[in-house]
Structure 1
């Protein structure tokens, strides 16, 4: 059984960015932390006995309190890292603008990763980076892929599309590791392919730049939509002819398999994304996924054009990706891997 003991501290990604930009020194934020932890402790007291504690992302701050609580009860502690906070801050340019905060984030992580009995990460590449950056031993880590929540992301009856238009969908944050500028350049290269339409769903610091680029180049084949409720997002994915992953060449982008890749595959959609060893560890090019050189808009536009003209290959990729996700990357499949790691730790 899993007992959830949670108290909300963050109001979303932009809230965390604001804190990382210096808001952590704000008295109001400090009060917020104390209030959240006070309420969390009250809930923890009602939990009763347990075998071990798992702290989820972003738990690099929470793990300090968690370590004290588990020490008092003589229980093992697991931290699911998922992403490095200091690396996120660096790639978003926050470290350059706020170097002291960047050093504090790195120091926080350096201490945080030494407290748990086990660390969970999704790819060998990210694990290797964490080991090198924070001087951690390989034995501290166990690998669990990110996967998709197939309770939400599963094939739907396809939404009607406008005529013969092929919809190319990007959803996610407008940040460097996703490589949105390369998608924009690909859209410009395909502006005269009137049967191809690009849809961008999401927000982020680089969205205004993307919108300005589309306006300056009169890209009639591009539309921007703010974040949508879950049901509407699923409808857009279902109606897409091609779904896009990430195309940046930042360390974070290269070391991970982005959630949207698993999610779109779980909905039986063909996915195009940037090539990397991390992606190739999970999927095979031209079988379950279509890979292109990262930071290369020409390679991306060529791939989209070729796939738009080859419905057989699109269907092959969609079916192949869906089959692999169903076998290895559903909630049940990932849960089995996670559970095995936890039981092995308890029985060691």
Structure 2
């Protein structure tokens, strides 16, 4: 099978990188037809002529695909599969709250999300609950929505031995500082544990809420929190390897309840004990005290207690880390992702 990976997708997105790599790992030939030129007519012109030179079986429109879907639908030589992943309206309005709910841009994002599904034969989402949301909010036929969980590249994310401090128990968060991460609850948990000199929090990354989180930590005069800058996915595993516990997300918002974040998958891939918020999406794959610890969203006390339980109970920590790693290999590795995506594409081709 030959796939045309089409559009103006973000080539630095791990969703895009991993999906393409996973397909190739599964024996699928992938040819990219890519352009991010401005203005839009120039992009369309270049994609149109590049596309004419490619023969393939299925077209996959990479995330975000909103701007190119009308063109993709009109020129496709086979079925069109959209990696919807997460929506503009949900991300920019419901989660990041970048715009007033009655603004013109909010209406535009809503309409873009609503109608871009119509141009595809099949749409990929990252959890079953995200599929339910798109079905209910935008009236997308449920059978059109197929779940493809986020993944981690085992070439970089794998269990490894590294030198760790025996004096400090390291709690790691890594991410883009968006509201759904609920990092303020991590800071609050650090405040509750500030008397424990043997516990240190390390926060890696930057983003929308970063400045506010720094001010919060400084206002609380926390000495048990270290901030590190954003790191490439090639460098990040070296930092994860030194952690004793990895953290997921803790926000109480709608979007947080519909995702299994990539940082959680990174932790599983590296055989690290994971603590994350209990949610409908998390329950699709994660099980409390089996392959992670699930705690109530927005509850710093529960987070602090979970950290202490893993520090004091090495048997539990090793158990959930080991089971989490087995879950990663079965469900979230590039091998598993490639098999699943190839199956979806073959089923689409044979409809």
Q: TM-score, normalised by structure 1?
A: 0.89
Task: Give the aligned partner of residue 239 of structure 1.
Answer: 242
Residues in 1 aligned to 2:222 and 2:128: alpha-carbon distance in whole angstroms: 39
Counterpart in the other structure of 1:261: 264
Please give the alpha-carbon distance, in whole angstroms, between the structure 2 residues aligned to 1:328 and 1:300.
26
Partners of 2:3 and 2:57 within 8 A in 1: no
Matched, 1:57 2:63: yes
Alpha-carbon distance in structure 2 between the residues aligned to 1:182 and 1:132: 30
Q: Is the 8 A contact 1:144 1:334 kept in 2?
A: yes
CA distance in 1, matches of 2:206, 2:239: 16
- Structure 1 SS opposite 2:298: coil
Could you tell me which runs of 5 or more consecutive residues in structure 1 were left unpaired when the two chains were aligned. 14-28
Secondary structure at the aligned position of 1:198 is classed as: strand
Q: Tell me if the contact between 1:5 and 1:43 (Cα under 8 Å) persists in the aligned partners.
A: no
Matches within 5 A, 1:146-165: 146-158=150-162, 160-165=163-168
Aligned length: 328
- Find out whether 1:43 has 2:46 as its counterpart: no
TM-score, scaled to structure 2: 0.88
Residue among 100, 103, 107 paired with 2:104: 100
Unaligned ranges ≥5, structure 2: 14-35
CA distance in 1, matches of 2:86, 2:176: 15
Greater fraction of residues in strand: 2
Indicate whether 1:219 and 2:222 are aligned: yes
**Conserved in 2, the CA contact under 8 Å of 1:7 and 1:37?**
no
State the superposition RMSD in angstroms.
2.1
Q: What secondary structure sits across from 1:81 in the alignment?
A: strand
Task: Give the superposition deviation at 1:314.
Answer: 1.1
Higher helix share: 1
Q: 1:100-149: CA deviations, max 9, x gaps? A: 11110111111111111111112221111101110111121122222322
- 1:81 is matched with 84
Per-residue CA shift, 1:158-213, capped at 9, x if unaligned?
Answer: 2x223321111101111111110100100111111111111111111111111111
User: What's the offset of the Cα at 1:276?
Assistant: 0.9
Q: CA deviation at 1:228?
A: 1.3
Q: Separation in 2 of the partners of 1:66 and 1:6?
A: 8
Distance 1:333 1:76 in 2: 23
Q: Highest relative contact order (Cα 8 Å, sep 6+), 1 or 2?
A: 2
- Aligned in 2, Cα 1:105/1:273: closer, same or farther, shift over 3 Å? same
Does structure 2 conserve the Cα–Cα contact (< 8 Å) formed by 1:5 and 1:44? Answer: no
User: For the structure 1 residues 232 and 274, does the alpha-carbon distance in structure 2 shift closer, same or farther, using more than 3 Å as the test?
Assistant: same
